[in-house]
Amino acid sequence: MENPRYWVGGDRWPQPLPSWTPASSRWWTRLLDGDHVWGSLSVSPTRYGVTRYWLVVYPPGIDNVERRWLRAWRAWPTWGTVLWLFSLLLLGAATSWLQFAIPTVVWLGVGVALFARVARSHAQIRTRCVTRFAGRPDEQFEAEYAELKVLVGKLRAADMLRDHGRLSASAHEAIWWQVYDRLGTAHTANEHHCP
Confidence of residue 31 (pLDDT cuts 50, 70, 90): low
In terms of C-beta density within 10 A (0-12 exposed, 13-18 middle, 19 or more buried), how is residue 106 classed? middle
Q: How far is 127 from 187, CA to CA, in rounded Å? A: 6
pLDDT at residue 28 in the model? 57
Q: Which of 186, 54, 28 has its CA nearest to residue 129?
A: 54
pLDDT at residue 25 in the model? 52
CA 172 distance to own-chain centroid:
18
Indicate if the pLDDT at residue 20 is higher than 70. Answer: no
Confidence of residue 179 (pLDDT cuts 50, 70, 90): very high
Indicate if the pLDDT at residue 166 is higher than 90. Answer: yes
Q: Kindly give, in sequence order, each residue whose CB lies less than 8 Å from that of residue 114, ignoring residues fewer than 6 positions away.
A: 69, 72, 73, 76
Q: Mean pLDDT for the chain?
A: 78
Confidence of residue 2 (pLDDT cuts 50, 70, 90): very low
